[in-house]
Structure 1
Amino acid sequence: MPLLFIGYVVAYLDRVNVGFAKLQMLNDLHFSEAMYGFGAGIFFVGYFFFEVPSNLLMHRVGARRWIARIMVTWAVISAATAWVTSPTMFYVLRFVLGIAEAGFFPGLVLYLTYWFPAQRRGKMVAFLMAGNPVSGIVGGPVSGLILQRLAGHGGMAGWQWLFIIEALPALVLGVVIYFFLDDRVKDAKWLAEHEREHIQREIDAEARTKSHSSVGQTFSSAKVWLCCAILFGIVMGSYAVGFWQPTIIRTSGIKDPFTIGLLTIVPYLYALISMILVGRHADRTRERRWHVVIPQLVAASGFVVCAFAGTNPWIALLGLTMAATGVVTALPMFWALPTSFLGGAGAAAGIALINSTGNLAGFVSPAVVGWLKTMTHSLNSSLFLIAGCLCLSALLILTRMPARLVNR
């Protein structure tokens, strides 16, 4: 779990560090807000098309080799973003980065179903996805410091150094995972034989209660597509925070990149505490729906607060803290829903389909926010739209996802 956790920290950092690079690269490259939003979001188009094949390949060849391959290729492509000179180059590299990273997160979620039964998996998914806020806690100050201190060194801008330096951990970790990650419980030499047998019995017992559908049946399942729609609403909020948080802080009157980086620690710190506590409570009570819905409503309220913050940085920070805490907590709690009824090859396809379709919001969110900001010269209309998406997603859970299906 620590190895997977560090991998997710690095993955999320490389995915959204473009939000910090934006503070400098837009002026250097003469990009508009709409160009940035489209480029930030097109990552998820490549992600969408290659996610299901990637997860099916991981199920076949094993997590160790496939996750290592993903990390090394995305590290190289992320670093190459430092040499972008035109909108077209930016769009192409972000699209290819999405292809390279496709399958990483759903692969990890699928991988956890090989090791943990449902009553412990919620806590493990929360621990894994704690990499999201931790990447913000670590990445914010580091990104701000790189932008501030390395600008001009070696004839390169600070945002260029940002992409290069923050790609290196993924390259190293890909090699580490190849040599140290065990594909299945039976491969874990660090467990005693009776421990491996005990864990495998639990996994096998749970597998018998799941729907082991084919890939084709998974693609036609109404429950799977419902999960896609629910995740889409949550991800709209997640990437509004990930891609626009530095901009919201700067709009409130804070201009120094390093100070902006320090302030991003606050929302992510609260989010980290919340997701761990809520994950434990969900596993203890075995209640799943409200543990997703309540964080979504908190996040929606936070985006509304941000819209009314104006130039008051403290109100903006309060709204961002509510928004980040809500969406970061809702995401791992959401994954307890589909993994409670999907099994076998259907799980590999279903988890990937849900993640890839839901993550299309990662394209829609920054693209729409960027376009609306360019048209209205304000983030407010975008923030209200994001809040509405979160509320609609919560309503779908309460009206279309019966408790008897997921509370286990």
Structure 2
Amino acid sequence: MHISRRFPMFPEPAVSAPSMKGSSTAVNHKVLIIEDDRDIAKLVEMHVTDLGCKCDVAHDGEVGLEKALKNTYNLIILDLMLPGVDGFELRARLVAGIRRFLDERGYLEVETPMMHTLAGGATARPFVTHHNALGLDLYLRVAPELFLKRLLVGGLERVYEINRNFRNEGISTQHNPEFTMLEFYQAYATYRDLMDLTEEMFGRLADELKGARRISYQGRELSLEAPFRRASVQELVAEAFAVEAGSLDDPERLRALAREHRISVDSAWGAGRLLMTLFEERVEKTLWQPTFVCDFPLEVSPLSRRKEDRPELVDRFELYVAGRELCNAFSELNDPDDQRQRFVEQMKQKARGDEEAMPHDEDYIRALEVGMPPAAGEGIGIDRLVMLFADAPSIRDVILFPLLRPES
């Protein structure tokens, strides 16, 4: 399958299908045209049908993605020219800007393994591969977190990595199974320190890439001026469902809310998982302006440090901008006994059928027993961040070679 890009400076759409022209098999070729301008789409369709090809047309990127996943096409013609600055040039500038920002603050860029013996560091379903020489199944990494924290144990106090993660999950306008992630860790810092650092980083990127901290995304304005809003998960859920925040500690009350609003939940889930499901279903998409969502339940945060005053919660935040999560950060759990018990709970969840539960990583616990300093760490999805600054509606618009269904 071939993907052709059409750029506005060309007088006519560049349909890169010379092998089809005059071919006796051209009628068997199937072409998908993704273009929001209906006049241009009609012109391209006319050119392609003149070649004897069958055409599908989508005037919306999400519809086009759905068609591309459900069907096999010999050629996909789409416009990858993003507003203002070419998205891929912008992407390179954004990554370079992040590196400068962290390097200036004494962080060391490192590389950690891409193949793991255990799929740890995040609650996600992994891709499995096999090492022939060792006769061993391995997992493409879902996150580099546990290896980066081993470097804190080894004495490196500020480290970061920009590299690929792989999660064997759904494909959508916000998710690609192979994606680029920044993760950085700082000894003797807390998650609140990382809030300040994140505000500073986003403001500087806005200055460098857009020349202003008030930007437009998909026709709506948002401000990257500090300080960003800070709100707890309970506070936001209570606001969305018009209930008292204090009632959201009760799992039966949470199940009743889910039933009332026709939100599917599992009977085995505790209050923390139920609360986060209500948040994901009703709150996430409403958070347009930058918002640090704080005070996550312990139940869904197996690597985070407990809050001293409320041990059922953890010192963690996620940053939401334009209705989607961009960052996840927390003060790190460095108590090996507590971490071992968290892994035990994760294995119980896995035994109940949770494919995303973390495995028990005894090697990582041994590293904690050596001694990890108090620290905080953060992950930022590079692809989603590029979407924001490039004003791109789909993650596939900012990935050069997104995964598509191959020809059979």
The interval holding the TM-score normalised by the smaller chain is under 0.3
Question: Normalising to structure 2: TM-score of the pair?
Answer: 0.21
- Where relative contact order (Cα < 8 A, 6+ residues apart) is larger, the structure is 1
Of Structure 1 and Structure 2, the greater strand share is in 2
Question: Normalising to structure 1: TM-score of the pair?
Answer: 0.21
The structure whose Rg is larger is 2
